Structure 1
Amino acid sequence: MIDEILTDAEVRMGKSVDALRTELIKIRTGRAHPSLLDQIMVDYYGSNTPINQVANVTVEDARTLAVAPWEKQMVAVVEKAIINSGLGLNPTTAGNLIRIPMPPLTEERRRELVKVVKNEGENSKIAIRN
């Protein structure tokens, strides 16, 4: 009986920690990482598809992502999805390759990120307690 309760609590707490980790990965910190684009959906022949299922997303350098769509006609669609994502990214297209430079963080943006991280941490603490 007690073992079941402990196992259940451990699984639920683990899920809360995993959810926090996922939310923290989405925060744009000024460094390029491919998982930043994971939540962007692309209109792929009438169905919404994650960007990582229609293109290769790689890190060119510490501040630049490169997106290479698998189909040439998808370049404009992928670029539009990145612009409309609300992440504040401005991609540039060179042939079949889309480059996304990461803008440097301003002091104001850093303060906003601290607030967001604190809020996410607090929400996770509450979820773990429940």
Structure 2
Amino acid sequence: MSEEMNVDEKMIDGEGEMEHALDHLKSELSKIRAGKASPAMLSSIMVDYYGSSTPLMQVSNVNTADSRTITIQPWEKSMLAPIERAIFEANLGLTPMNDGEFVRINIPPLTEERRKQLVKQAKNEGEETKISIRSARHKMLDFIKKEVKAGYPEDAGKRKEEDVENLTKKYYKKVDQLIEAKEEDIMTV
């Protein structure tokens, strides 16, 4: 009976890995802009804050003034120039404007070509996520096969393998749904 517990624990671990891969995909997709201003677009930017690399969100308030403008209000005025520099260096294709109080970023409308590039980027993220899901699936199946060799009932092992395949299909479907939604978001003018 202890083998069953081990197989079930491995199934739970595997599903946790798949869920983590899906969460990572959601995070990465939120960084891909779809023509609308979003503070998430700047979530990966690190600013030099008194010699240490600090996330932009920890040295300023980042908001959207409207659907095309992001405003960044640093907590210290001396941070305006480092924030502006960090945005330029991040190479996001955004031009920050410093007015002495705020750093404003106007989000230009996307060209058709740029939209297609962003869709391609989103699909690549989806493929990376599917690779992570396959990796978790592989670990679970290997574990089940090892347990069957060690005395776990073969028919129960086959059922667990089917469960793993169904779980994999479920997560693949979730990835496809996220990518389709992001593609629609990007292509909507």
Q: Which has the higher strand share?
A: 1
SS at match of 1:96: coil
Once the two structures are TM-superposed, the CA of residue 114 in structure 1 deviates from its matched residue by 1.3
Alpha-carbon distance between aligned partners in 1 of 2:110 and 2:134, rounded to the nearest angstrom:
34
SS state of the match for residue 19, structure 1?
Answer: helix
Within the alignment, does 1:98 sit opposite 2:98 as a pair? Answer: no
User: How far apart in 2 are the matches of 1:23 and 1:84?
Assistant: 19
Q: Which residue of 1 aligns with 2:35?
A: 30
Number of the residue aligned with 1:42: 47
Aligned mates of 2:115, 2:9 — CA distance in 1 = 43
Identity %: 53
Task: Work out which of the residue numbers 98, 109, 115 in structure 2 matches 1:110.
Answer: 115
Any runs of at least 4 consecutive aligned residues in structure 1 with deviations exceeding 3 A, and if so which? none
Paired with 1:20 and 1:58, the residues of 2 have a C-alpha distance of 23
Aligned-pair CA distance for 1:20: 0.7
1:63-102 maps to which residues of 2 (within 5 A)?
A: 63-102=68-107
CA RMSD of aligned residues (A): 0.9
The residue that corresponds to 1:5 in the other structure is: 10
1:91 to partner: Cα distance: 1.1
- How far 1:89 moved relative to its partner? 0.5
For residues 16-72 of structure 1, the C-alpha deviation after alignment (integer angstroms, 9 at most, x for no partner) is: 001111111111221111111111010000000000000000110011000000001
> Alignment partner of 1:87: what SS?
coil
Give 1:76 deviation, angstroms: 0.9
Secondary structure of the residue aligned to 1:95 is: coil
| Cα distance, 1:2 vs structure 2 | 2.7
Q: Paired residues, what number?
A: 130
**Is there any run of 5+ residues in structure 2 with no aligned partner, and where?**
1-5, 136-189
Whole-angstrom distance in 2 between the partners of 1:92 and 1:48? 22
Structure 1 gaps, min length 5: none
Q: Give the Cα–Cα distance (whole angstroms) in 1 for the partners of residues 86 and 128 of structure 2.
A: 29
Q: C-alpha separation between the residues in 1 aligned to 2:63 and 2:36?
A: 13
Q: Which has the higher helix share?
A: 2
Question: Which of 3, 26, 44 is matched with 1:21 structurally?
Answer: 26
TM-score (norm 2): 0.67
2:83 is aligned with what amino acid? V
Counterpart Cα distance in 2 of 1:128 and 1:61: 37
Question: Greater CA radius of gyration, 1 or 2?
Answer: 2
1:125 maps to amino acid: K
How many angstroms does 1:7 deviate by? Answer: 0.6
